[in-house]
Amino acid sequence: MYPRRSFAYLVVLAIAGLAATAPNSAAQQEQTLRIGYQKYGTLVVEKARATLETRLAPLHVHVTWTEFLGGPALLEAMGADSIDFGITGDAPPIFAQVAGVPLVYVAVEPPSPHGEGIIVPAASPIHSIADLRGKKIALNRGSNVHNLLVRVLQSGGLSVIDVQPVYLKPSDARPAFENGSVDAWAIWDPYLAAAQTALKTRLIADGVAAHDHVIDENREFFLATRDFATAHPEVLKVLLADLKQTEAYASTHHAEVVQLLAPAMGMDPAAVRLAIDRLSFGVQPIDAPILAAQQNIADVFASLNLIPDKIDIKDATLPKPPTF
């Protein structure tokens, strides 16, 4: 016969059993996906539609959203382990990789070469790329327009040493542009569209040169920390699949997207519509040609001493690219 156990003893055993299983349940409930987004683009639409939260609920994943003024700040947060996933233009991940941010490329959007540009006031004496020589050009250091400026100057027979870059965030660059502290402004949408609709400006160049020759593809990359992508492939797969659906919706519903975004962005609907109309939709997997294009940008930056060392873009990829 087994010895009799007291009620108190059995209660202790029961509590111990519950305690042993509690950490697993808590871990499921507390899992969080931290997304960094910018003022404009697919992730803003994704956030507004709130479909991702629904799809991740069965996996017990909570989603948080943090807005950033530009790609460099977003990737700085990724390097500080403040976010797990985000989107930037082509140049920011190159600067971030040099700085040791543990990022990986997980997906990309089609080129949007008209979604960035170099503008001047309408009355400016600057009428060509050659006229930029010696001029002060505002831009956000390490952003997608850093690459645009390099490409545009090259197309006109100039180099970055022939102009005076003034590194300003968009919020500081616009007043500098309006008060004449700088001669030109290299900027991306929606800030470009906002300036074009609200101010008297002229476009000196964008990602497309004469005769429809693309000089800068202006791609947007979806990036994640290596730890997140490696530890949570199932969450990443759901996220990318939902982004694919969001982009399919956005590509055919521009008017609805503008109604969705304009209030959230605090921008004039006309500016948002201009930006949306020249944005390309359709999230795609990372492939060899896209990595080669990124490598070319990195090599040019290294040759111009814009980054201190050469890097291998393949070091910022996963052994097995995610599918969606």
| The CATH fold of domain 113-214 | D-Maltodextrin-Binding Protein; domain 2 (3.40.190)
Beta pairing partners, 32: 62
Fold match, 26-110+219-316 / 113-214: yes
What's the predicted TM-score (pTM) here? 0.87
Task: Please name the amino acid found at residue 194.
Answer: A
Residue spans of the domains in the chain: they are 26-110+219-316, 113-214
Q: Which residues neighbour 16 within 8 Å (Cβ) at sequence distance 6 or greater?
A: none
How many residues are present in the chain?
324
For residue 29, name the pLDDT band (cuts at 50, 70, 90).
low
Contact 145, 187 (CB under 8 A): yes
Q: Which residues neighbour 73 within 8 Å (Cβ) at sequence distance 6 or greater?
A: none
How far apart, in whole angstroms, are the C-alpha atoms of residue 53 and residue 278?
28
Q: Which of 163, 235, 223, 270 is nearest to 43 (CA)?
A: 223
Q: Which residues neighbour 235 within 8 Å (Cβ) at sequence distance 6 or greater?
A: 31, 33, 56, 59, 61, 228
Q: Read off the pLDDT of residues 190-235 as tens digits, 9 standing for 90 and up.
A: 999 999 999 999 999 999 987 889 999 999 999 999 999 999 999 9
Per-chain mean pLDDT for the chain: 91
**Helix or strand holding residue 305 (H, E):** none
**Helix or strand holding residue 85 (H, E):** strand 85-88
| The CATH fold of domain 26-110+219-316 | D-Maltodextrin-Binding Protein; domain 2 (3.40.190)
How far apart, in whole angstroms, are the C-alpha atoms of residue 39 and residue 37?
7
For residue 265, name the pLDDT band (cuts at 50, 70, 90).
confident
- Of 17-31, 62-76, 111-125, 310-324, the range with the lowest mean pLDDT is 17-31
Q: Which residues neighbour 60 within 8 Å (Cβ) at sequence distance 6 or greater?
A: 28, 29, 31
